[in-house]
Amino acid sequence: MRKINIFDTTLRDGEQSAGVNLNLHEKLEIARQLERLGVDIIEAGFPAASKGDFQAVQAIAQTVRNCSVTGLSRSVQSDIDAAWEALKDGAEPRLHVFIATSPIHMQYKLRMTPEQVVETAVESVRYAKKYFPIVQWSAEDACRSDLPFLATIVEKVIEAGANVINIPDTVGYITPKQYGDIFSFLKKNVRNIEKISLSAHCHDDLGMAVANSLAAIEAGATQIEGTINGIGERAGNAAIEEVAVALYIRKDYYQAETRLNLQEIKRTSSLVSKLTGMIVPPNKAIVGKNAFAHESGIHQDGVLKEKTTYEIISPQLVGVQSNSMVLGKHSGRHAFRTRIQELGYSLTEEEVNRLFARFKDLADKKKDITDDDLIALILDEKLDMYKNFYQLCSIQVQYGTNQIPTAVVVLKDGEGNDIQEAATGAGSVEALYNALEKALQIPVTLLDYRIESVGSGRDALAQVYVKVSLDRKEASGRGTAQDVLEASAKAYIHAVNRMFVIEKMKEEQALAAQ
C-alpha cells in the first residue's frame, strides 16, 4: 500500500469561499479537529496577506503538534519572511510557495517572460530553503501550461531544493486522463523527479476535482490537496473526505491509503459547515444527510436482507452514529463535561459553567439533548468574544394574518446602555431586522438569510446564518435558539459585531504602522 499524504487547505483555499470569514478562535477549532482527523499537513493561511491571517497561522503552528502546518507565499522574499515568522514555532514548519506557469498568466498577470519566471521560482525556493526544512513549490495554472516548459521549471526548482512539487488544476479545466498524463509526462521528462513528492490540487469548476485527484494518484502522486466538504473559491476544491473514503473502499484498485481517522469525518464536516455557514447539500457524497438513506422500496428490501446489496459504505465508518449519547435535564455536570471532551472540545472551567447553565435551561424546554444540540451550544458560546459590542437583551414580535407584523427589540451597547426600538415589516423577520437596523443606526443590507434545524422534532433548535454588508464591507453571522426569531436576531447581531471587530483590527493595524 502506498501512503498518500493529505494536505488540507480548508483554512486557506476553503476560507476564500464567497461569504466565508473565520476568526482566530474558529480557525483554531477547525485546526484542532483536522489534527484529530489525522491530516498530514494543514495549510493555515496566507501569512503575508494581513495581520489577522499572520496571527491565525502563528497560533495554529504553535498549537498543532501532530501534523505539519504550512502557509502560502508568493515568490517574494517579504512573503517568505512573513511565513517563517508565523511558522517557525511549528512542529514541522514548511512553506508553500507558488508562481504561475501558463502562457496566459505569465503574459497578462505576471507580465514576465518564461525565463524570468524560472529565475524567480528558483530564487524563491533557494531563499526559502535557508529557513524551511520542507519547501513545497506550486506551478499555478499548471494544467494550461506548456508541458516542456513545465518540466524545465520543475527540474530547476528541484535543483534549488524543493521537496514537494504541486501541479494544480487552478481553474478546474482538465479531465482525469489529461491530468494523469501530466504527472506521467513529468515523471518521464524530469531527471531528478525521484527526489521529490508529487502533489495534486484540483478545483471543481467542471465537477471533476475528486476524479482528477484520484487520477493523479494512479499516475504517481503521493499527496492530495483539498478541503473538507469541498469548499473553496468558485465551485470549490476536491473534497478530502471523498478522496479518503474512495481510497479506503477501493483499496483493491488504488493500492493506496491515508492515515486519516475516518470516524472523525462526519464531526469534521459538521464543524466546518457550522463555522463557515456553508450548509452541506443532503445528496453530498459521504457526509450528506441522505448519503445513507434508502427511499426506493427495492433498495430498502435489499438493505434489510443484506446491507452490502446497496450500501458500500457503512455510516459508522465515517462517524455517523445512530446510538449517540443523549443528555437530559437530570444529567449532571460530570456527564456534561465528559461528553464535551468526547466531542473533542476543550473549554475552560468558566466556559463549562456558563455552558452548563445554558444546557440546563434548554433541557427544561427540550426533552433530549443530542450531540448536535451540544455542538450548537458550544459554538454559540464561542460568539461571546463579541460581548464588548452589541448584545441582544430581548425581542417581542406581534404577528397575525390580518395584522402588520411589528417587532420591538432591546439591545445593550458596549458601554452598557440600553437601546430600544420598534418597527414593522412585510413579515416577522423583516420587522425584526428593521427594528435592529433602527437600534443600531447604521444602514445594514441583508445579503443572505438561511435557516436549518439542529436535529429533528418540534423542539429542535433553529440555526440561522446571515450575510450582511455595510459600506461595501461584508460579514457573516450565525445564531442558535429554540425560537426561529430569536436565532434570527442573534445571527444579525453576530454579523454586525463581527464587522465592528474587523474594523477595529484594521484601525489597530493602521495605528501600529504609524
Distance separating alpha carbons of residues 462 and 183, to the nearest angstrom: 47
Distance separating alpha carbons of residues 52 and 498, to the nearest angstrom: 13
Q: Is 96 annotated as a binding residue?
A: no
End-to-end CA distance of the chain: 56
Cell numbers standing for residue 473 = 464591507
Q: How many CA atoms lie within 13 A of 462 on its CB side?
A: 17
Q: Phi and psi for 259 in degrees, rounded to 5? A: -100, 15
Distance separating alpha carbons of residues 259 and 244, to the nearest angstrom: 9
Distance separating alpha carbons of residues 110 and 356, to the nearest angstrom: 55
Closest CA to 448 of 475, 425, 428, 414: 475
* CA dist list (Å): 247 to 85, 280, 290, 410, 473: 36, 22, 21, 54, 42
Sequence-ordered alpha helix ranges (H) in 441-513: 484-513
Q: Which residues of 145-161 are buried (b: 16+ CB within 10 A; e: fewer)?
A: beeebbbbbbbbbbebb
* CA dist list (Å): 282 to 178, 246, 312, 489: 31, 19, 18, 26
Q: Is 89 annotated as a binding residue?
A: no
Q: Measured in whole angstroms, how far is the alpha carbon of residue 376 from the centre of its chain?
A: 17
Judging by beta carbons within 10 Å of its beta carbon (0-12, 13-18, 19+), is residue 113 exposed, middle or buried? exposed
Q: Is 237 annotated as a binding residue?
A: yes
> Starting from the edge strand earliest in sequence, which strands make up the sheet with 391-398, in order?
391-398, 406-412, 418-424
Distance separating alpha carbons of residues 277 and 121, to the nearest angstrom: 37
> Is residue 342 within 8 Å of residue 462, measured between CB atoms?
no
Q: Is 330 annotated as a binding residue?
A: no
Give the position of cell 477549532: 29
Closest CA to 221 of 189, 248, 182: 182
Per-state percent for the chain, helix, strand, coil, to nearest 5 = 45, 20, 30
Q: Phi and psi for 402 in degrees, rounded to 5? A: -110, 20
Closest CA to 8 of 201, 140, 170: 201
**Can you say which residues are annotated as belonging to the binding site for Mn(2+)?**
13, 201, 203, 237
**Can you say which residues are annotated as belonging to the binding site?**
13, 201, 203, 237
